[in-house]
Structure 1
């Protein structure tokens, strides 16, 4: 799969997460709607994290001629989603909440913000 295909697959999986994750942070917890959208969000986040591991870093230094600092958000996601799921299954609401807030702000807000850095595709699309 080409870089361009990976980028589009990443956008298709991550853009809904921006909205779903934000919604999950503000709606009432412990409802069937929260559980349903939470599962969708977690699955999409895992898929998008795996996709990004196949995308080479475009900005900054690289390790192994591929991975960059931006990939730390992918690894954060691959760790946080299963541990947040395990926490809620065990009834540890506080741990689940902390991890999901970390995931949203780390992987969506901060990493998403870095996509607007000059030289990145979305910067070119939005700002020419």
Structure 2
């Protein structure tokens, strides 16, 4: 079993963000600014998960998960380029396929004995629940913040709008 270190912890947290953001992106009907912004966050986290995996090795050897990481780098890039070019069918296929790939990798990482996550689940389940809760809460906070457009309250008032008096009041 690999010891927990900064690389492994950051890899797992980024993967949890990918898993949390994915359904929001896939299931939302609107493809708007929120979708685009959350998509860039998702792509960044996905790239981090894939590239960081090459430094996480067991017994100094790569596994099939590293092959999946290389393949996912290609499919995420193709999905991103497809969206930019307006090829929505290709974008959808590549991104959903990438999400399925990371879900399979996550299932493997959680269920195979001898890996770091099952060991942590057995020894410190409260930490796992806490971190997962923080990731979900952070994802919701980002989404709500984007949905509100960065406003704390209602629409922002400008100085010009505040100083305008109705025409009836001037006479």
Band the TM-score falls in, shorter-chain normalisation: 0.7 to 0.9
Q: 2:104 aligns with which of 104, 110, 124?
A: 110
Matched, 1:27 2:28: yes
Larger radius of gyration: 2
Is the contact made by 2:4 and 2:116 (CA closer than 8 Å) also made in structure 1? Answer: no
How much has 1:89 moved relative to structure 2? 1.1
How much has 1:95 moved relative to structure 2? 0.5
Alpha-carbon displacement from aligned partner over 1:11-61 (angstroms, at most 9, x marks no partner)? 121111111011111112421111110110001100111111111036xxx
Q: 2:119 aligns with which of 121, 124, 128?
A: 124
Q: Distance in 2 between matches of 1:121 and 1:52?
A: 14
How much has 1:81 moved relative to structure 2? 1.3
Q: Distance in 2 between matches of 1:84 and 1:120?
A: 31
TM-score, normalised by the number of residues in structure 1: 0.86
- Residue 81 of structure 2 corresponds to which residue in structure 1? 86
How much has 1:72 moved relative to structure 2? 1.6
Q: Which runs of 5+ in 2 are unaligned?
A: 124-171
CA RMSD, aligned part only?
1.7
Is the contact made by 1:13 and 1:45 (CA closer than 8 Å) also made in structure 2? Answer: yes
Higher RCO (C-alpha 8 Å, min separation 6): 2
Helix, strand or coil at the partner of 2:64: coil
